[in-house]
Amino acid sequence: MEKLFIYHQNTGVMIPLSDEVYLVSERVVGEQMAKDMSDGCNVYPMEHLGYRLDNYNMTNLFFGSTE
């Protein structure tokens, strides 16, 4: 299985998808919370607000089934 990362070009930060990473919408979390998160604050539990991105699901999305 591919080891995938989320890469932020401006800061050079790479986040492995083996970490808990969530895709959330500003509409769902609210404008202020989204601004706080974009400033580097990570105090909100995301598991109920978004979709978990992980190696398994993203590998299947980009490269097809691993089976």
Q: What is the pLDDT of residues 3-54, one digit of tens each?
A: 889 898 989 999 998 888 888 777 766 766 666 666 655 555 655 667 788 8
pTM: predicted TM-score of the whole model, two decimal places: 0.57
Residue 41, both tokens: 């604050």
What local confidence, expressed as pLDDT, does residue 32 receive?
64
Query: Structural domain boundaries of the chain?
Result: 5-63
Could you tell me if 21 and 54 are in contact, meaning their C-beta atoms sit under 8 angstroms apart?
yes
DSSP state of 21: E
Tokens 């995301």 label which residue?
A: 46
What local confidence, expressed as pLDDT, does residue 62 receive?
78
